[in-house]
Structure 1
Amino acid sequence: MIPQTDPKAGYLAQRAEIDAAIQRVLDGGRYILGEEVAAFEREFAAFADARHGIAVASGTDALILALRALDIGPGDCVITVSHTAVATVAAIELTGAQALLLDVDASYGLDPAQLEATLNAWPATAARPKAIIPVHLYGQAADMPAIAAIAEKHGLAILEDGSQAHGARLNGIGIGHWGKLSAYSLYPTKNLGAIGDGGIITTDDAALDARLRELREYGWRERYVSAISGMNSRLDPLQAAILRVKLTRLQVDTDRRRAIAARYDAGLADVKAISLPRTRPGAMPVYHQYVIETENREALRTKLSERGVSTLVHYPVPVHLQPAYLGRVPLGVGGLKRTEAAALRVISLPMFPQLSDAQVDQVIAAVRASV
Structure 2
Amino acid sequence: MFDPVELKAQIKDWAIEFDFDDLRVTDTDLSRYEAGFIQWIEQNYHGTMDYMAKYGLTRLRPHELVPKTLRILCVRKNYLPPDARGPRDVLHDSELGYVSRYALGRDYHKVLRSNLQKLAERITDAIGPFGFRAFVDSAPVYETGLAEKAGIGWKGKHSLILNRQAGSWFFLGELFIDFDLPLDEPVESHCGSCTACITVCPTQAIVADGVVDARRCISYLTIESKDDIPQELRPAMGNRIYGCDDCQLVCPWNRFARVAADADFRARHGLDAPGLIELFLWDERTFLHKTEGMAIRRIGWQLWLRNVAVALGNLLRNQPDNTPAIEALQARYGQVSDQLDRHIQWALAQR
Please classify the TM superposition score into its range, dividing by the shorter chain length: under 0.3
Q: TM-score, normalised by structure 2?
A: 0.27
Q: TM-score, normalised by structure 1?
A: 0.26
